[in-house]
Structure 1
Amino acid sequence: MTDIDTQFAQAHEDVQQLPERPGNLTLLRLYALYKQATRGDVHGDKPGFTDIVGKYKYDAWAALKGTAQDVAKQQYVELVESLKSGTAA
């Protein structure tokens, strides 16, 4: 496992132990970065208008299209670290 993979795995554990739940936009960003880091570019059909949450998740992930998986991992780690230190909302 590379260094970024180790940091990413640790950040994924750390995010579940945060003392406060992040806001919805931050949660969407975490979701999108995680999906981009683990699955690559978005795939599948976009959810319909009746699935509001699914639509927002899909759109957040789609916004990262073309982002390298290692870059997404690094951004995920940085976001989790900022949440742990209290510098992100």
Structure 2
Amino acid sequence: MSLQEQFDAAALNVKKLKALPSDNDLLELYGLFKQATVGDADPANKPGMLDFKGKAKFEAWSGRKGTSKEDAQKAYIAKVEALVSSIGLQ
């Protein structure tokens, strides 16, 4: 199975988790997913200071700046596998 296929399977497994991961886990998943699919975050698109949720998500993504698509995919897959092991799938 190619890295892209593994990544796509992991993205599907996130939606099948028995329980919602912690906020920190969700932010980590978001940052890795965006880095793997879009690339580096554009500072011009940073949310306003009163958009706390958007700001947290943007910071999780921009913290991955410079990470290659492949490395972000590998880290995302590893994170999902860890969550599946601890939470389980439906």
The two structures have a TM-score, normalised by structure 1, of: 0.92
Q: Distance in 1 between matches of 2:20 and 2:45?
A: 29
**Is residue 63 from structure 1 mapped to residue 26 from structure 2 by the alignment?**
no
Q: Distance in 1 between matches of 2:5 and 2:41?
A: 24
Deviation >6 Å, runs of 4+: none
Say which structure, 1 or 2, has more relative contact order (CA 8 Å, 6+ apart): 2
Partner of 2:2: 3
Partner of 1:30: 29
- Equivalent AA in structure 1 for residue 28 of structure 2: R
Q: What 5-or-longer segments of structure 2 have no aligned partner?
A: none
The two structures have a TM-score, normalised by structure 2, of: 0.91
**Is residue 13 from structure 1 mapped to residue 12 from structure 2 by the alignment?**
yes
Paired residue total = 86
Q: What 5-or-longer segments of structure 1 have no aligned partner?
A: none
Q: CA RMSD in A?
A: 1.3
